[in-house]
Amino acid sequence: MVHLLSFDVEEYFQVEAAARSGVRREDWQGFATRLSPSVDRVLQALADHQASATFFVLGWVAQHEPAVVRRIADAGHEIASHGMEHRMLQHLTPNQFRRELLDSRRMLEDLSGRPVIGYRAPTFSITHETAWALDVLAETGYRYDSSVFPIHHDRYGVPDAPRGIHRAVGPAGGGLLEIPPLTLRFAGTNWPVGGGGYLRLLPVRVVGRALKTAARQGRRGMIYLHPWELDPGQPVLPMPRLTRFRHRVGLRKTEAKLGWLLGRFRFANVSRCLDSLLDRPQETHVYGRQ
């Protein structure tokens, strides 16, 4: 089974934890950028294991660090959209979201020379309350989304969503392929194991077990990380203690964990697998509370 691997391409100071701790967008220019060397470490790890990945890139990165986007594309990886400025969808109107989708796609296609067909919302912020975003994604021609996390969480999550790849339909009937991050089912609950702070906190063998379970069930697992998670030397931002723990836990082990996974499982980007995914019968799930 070939699983799916993805990276959300953003600077360490652009994460939601920083925004909630008082870092404003107008402050971003005052921070030292650290994205480029982190992306290079990711690209080297992928090259060492002959793996490919999908990189969900902020439009801000395309504007301010275009060479990073070109290097990713030149290495043969898929470029997809992560929006413009890492705003959770709860803070956007449908028209603002539509503009972000169109603007980010135009910038990323200009830099990569390839169609941009995938999207991931900042902080997995497509929920029942923001399900209108699925209609806008379908309307603007995106072919797949990876924004729904089928878990309970204080900031995001759709606990009743399917754990596997499925067709997601919005309140107005627009639909597209949905690729949720990997979870592990235990004691009647979906547990997040497929990336980010969860992957950094958990023993990597737990993630491996979840990938093996998904493969036995005929499902591809989606793993996600951020380049900044391979940068333990990044500046310590002023955050509340719990928020700082969430952001920094396990940073020194992320690169080794990524290497462990790459050495034991086969990974590809979404676009390489998309036709086979679309050819398979998919469960349909309707999002949005009436």
Q: pLDDT (tens digit, 9 = 90+) per residue, 93-144?
A: 999 999 999 999 999 999 999 999 999 999 999 999 999 999 999 999 999 9
Sign of CA dihedral 205, 209, 210, 212: positive
Residue 153 tokens read as 């969480």
Matching residue, tokens 């969430």: 246
Distance CA 212, CA 205 (A): 10
- Stated pTM of the model: 0.96
**Could you tell me if 236 and 244 are in contact, meaning their C-beta atoms sit under 8 angstroms apart?**
yes
What tens digit of pLDDT does each residue of 21-68 get? 888 899 898 899 999 999 999 999 999 999 999 999 999 999 999 999
Superfamily of domain 2-284: Glycoside hydrolase/deacetylase (3.20.20.370)
